[in-house]
Amino acid sequence: MDKEVVQQKLLLLQRCIQRVKEKTPAEAEILEADFDLQDIVVLNLQRAVQISIDISTHILADTLSVPSTMAEAFLLLHREGVLSKDVAKSMSRSVGLRNVAVHEYTNLDWDVVHAVALHHLDDFIHFGEEVVSWLDAHD
């Protein structure tokens, strides 16, 4: 595993989180009415999930664990001792939002997107923190 690749992806993850924080309005109705905000928030949430998946699969490439789904990658990181059970579960659930954003964009529930943007960004922060801790312990 290339530690520098993971570190670069973690920086990209932080940027996505910051963009979502900066652009998420206080009310879901504002998000639902503003196409530019929708694009910024959803794209950065989608990127945050994808970057997290990329980090996970990069780490797993050096193990015998091969995920059969994107969501399973996070659960396998828990099994490998990289992530806590809670973080693995929350990150696994984030794949659902990514899939809807990519494949069914017109069916997005803006209340759900807004709630994720306001209340679940910490999932990505905790993911990053746990990956960094694991990297530091495996120098």
Q: Is residue 102 within 8 Å of residue 84, measured between CB atoms?
A: no
Active-site entry in 47, 78, 98, 114: 98
| Interatomic CA distance for residues 94 and 91, integer angstroms | 5
Active-site entry in 19, 103, 120, 138: 103
Q: Where are the alpha helices (DSSP H) in the chain?
A: 3-23, 28-33, 35-60, 70-79, 85-103, 110-119, 121-137
Extract long-range pairs of 7-10: CB within 8 Å, 24+ residues apart: 7/135, 9/51, 9/54, 9/55, 9/58, 10/55, 10/128, 10/131, 10/132
| Interatomic CA distance for residues 17 and 75, integer angstroms | 22
79 is catalytic: no
126 is catalytic: no
Q: Which residues are catalytic?
A: 98, 103
